[in-house]
Amino acid sequence: MAKAYISRVKIKNYRNFLDVDFFTAEKQLVLGENAVGKSNYLRALRLILDPTFSDIDRMLNTDDFNTTLDKPMEKGDAIEIVIYISDYESNPALMAVLGDAKVDEDGITAAKITYVFEPRDPDDLAKGYFYSIYKGNDKKKKFDSLCRKYLNIRVINALRDANEDFSSFKKSPVFSIIKKYGIEEDNAQFGRIIKEIKSSTEKIFEIDEMADARNYMREAVNPFLKRYSGTEIDLNLISNKVPRIIGQLRVLENGGFLVDSSLGVTNIIYILLTLAANSSPAIPTFISGKEYEKLGKKYREIVDKYYTKTESKNFVLSKSKKLEIKDEALIYSVAVCVDDNVGVNTIIAVEEPEAHLHPAFIRMIYKDIFEGDNSVIFTSHSPEIASICPLRYYVSIKKKEKKSDAVTGLQAIGFFDEREISKLERFIDTNRADIFFGRKVILVEGMCEKIIVPRFAELLKIDLDSQGIIVCNISATNFLS
């Protein structure tokens, strides 16, 4: 099944972006120097697609207008963000959600979703502003939380603390994955395991030092606590609650806790598990016994054919049985019945995936994630990633005075044929990829000029770095005087 993706973006009056309109591919590598608007670009997308945003997050204020505008809310200016979604037609759930968002504009057919922050009454600005998100060109067709269930965005922030998130019951991608299985509080197997663990835990307190420490804590707190709330404290390894037990699970690397691992490895694991938590296999790998009993006869027969029944009367997908083409539609129907996440299309955005990573790891994570099936967006300062990414995926943001412009690879490669594009992609190595992160570029013919031009600038008291000027050596390749 093709993955839906953002194929066009229009932003007007929002933060860095005064008025931009650009086309994008199924993957996006957003490049640019600091403070050009890479994070603001993602936030613009999140205003429409992020299910974790509240009404307060979506309600903007005068600080969110582009700084070139003078007193915008006193003049009735509006902020508008428009995205176009392509390749959603093969997904039945998205077709149901976006069928009434379809438009034909500029020769392209796509689903259109608009966020607008505007005056309630253009003729009476005293009534204040409000926001709305709608589909197509009809403001009555709302893009709401139900729509975001099936089309949404998940952003992994640049300033992430992977160790802290792994330790958090609610933030950990591990818990997000396990939560999909809908394990119930009265699960009998969990009940038996809890008793066994608690019984084993008591042996810890047969150690004299541990027993005394336990009693010391009880005596220090419990007399007051019993009078105050009728409760008491104790030491144990696990909670009685099933979700809390699951939340206490920790990812190990080679038998050790991730907190003891390098930041780079922890970040890789965090990104990969977050991707896994926000995607679902086309064919469910697990079907509970309760879900099986709810299925009709023909669906149970297809499950019996491709799944193995466990001792707990659940069903696990058999790895030895290859799915026959004639059964694909039935298996998909089973998936819809047993998995609420079927049809969900999550766009994954990773800010600075290169954080804490060795250059070799940066290239590996690009190849494993960016080249996968998911629709993904990377924002990056990494020449290593820029040097191996196809030009068509580029979104290059440049700052001009108090506003930013965006040029995409799709727009740029329109000037070249396939042979020229191939030559360009071979030409852009790690050193030359710096050109995407500067405000201006000086092209020089060879290594000699690469060395002496910065030296000339230094003698002239010109700081190239502070002005964002990149000196790029093209090694006499197609250099025109």
Residue 303 has what pLDDT?
Answer: 93
**Cα angle for residues 343, 348, 353 (degrees, 5° grid):** 155
Residue 276 has what pLDDT?
Answer: 80
Residue 2 has what pLDDT?
Answer: 64
Average pLDDT for residues 384-396, to the nearest whole number?
Answer: 89
Query: 167 or 10: which carries more pLDDT confidence?
Result: 10
- Any residues with CB less than 8 A from the CB of 15 and at least 6 apart, and which? 37, 40, 43, 44, 64, 65, 66
Question: Looking at the predicted structure, is the pLDDT value of residue 316 above 60?
Answer: yes
Question: Looking at the predicted structure, is the pLDDT value of residue 338 above 90?
Answer: no
Least confident piece of the model among 269-273, 448-452, 453-457: 269-273
Do 355 and 268 touch, CB atoms closer than 8 A?
no
DSSP 478: S
Q: How far apart are CA 454 and CA 1, in angstroms?
A: 51
Residue 344 has what pLDDT?
Answer: 85
At 5, is the pLDDT very low, low, confident or very high (cuts 50, 70, 90)?
A: very high
Please report where in the chains the tokens 């229009």 appear, as a residue.
10
pTM across the whole model: 0.82
Residue 478 has what pLDDT?
Answer: 67
Kindly state the helix (H) or strand (E) to which residue 279 belongs, with its residue range: none
At 1, is the pLDDT very low, low, confident or very high (cuts 50, 70, 90)?
A: low
Percent of the chain with pLDDT over 70: 98
Question: Looking at the predicted structure, is the pLDDT value of residue 281 above 70?
Answer: no
At 361, is the pLDDT very low, low, confident or very high (cuts 50, 70, 90)?
A: confident
The closest of 378, 468, 381, 479 to 433, measured between CA atoms, is 381
Residue 379 has what pLDDT?
Answer: 93
**Per the CATH hierarchy, to which homologous superfamily does domain 5-161+346-404 belong?**
P-loop containing nucleotide triphosphate hydrolases (3.40.50.300)
Question: Looking at the predicted structure, is the pLDDT value of residue 359 above 90?
Answer: no
Question: Looking at the predicted structure, is the pLDDT value of residue 418 above 70?
Answer: yes
Ranges 85-89, 275-279, 477-481, most confident = 85-89
Query: 159 or 5: which carries more pLDDT confidence?
Result: 5
At 191, is the pLDDT very low, low, confident or very high (cuts 50, 70, 90)?
A: confident
Tokens of 276: 């896994």
At 480, is the pLDDT very low, low, confident or very high (cuts 50, 70, 90)?
A: low
CATH 3.40.50.300 in the chain, residues? 5-161+346-404
Residue 479 has what pLDDT?
Answer: 65
Residue 115 has what pLDDT?
Answer: 98
Q: How far apart are CA 291 and CA 206, in angstroms?
A: 44
Residue 65 has what pLDDT?
Answer: 97
Q: What is the pLDDT of residues 457-471, one digit of tens each?
A: 999 999 998 888 999
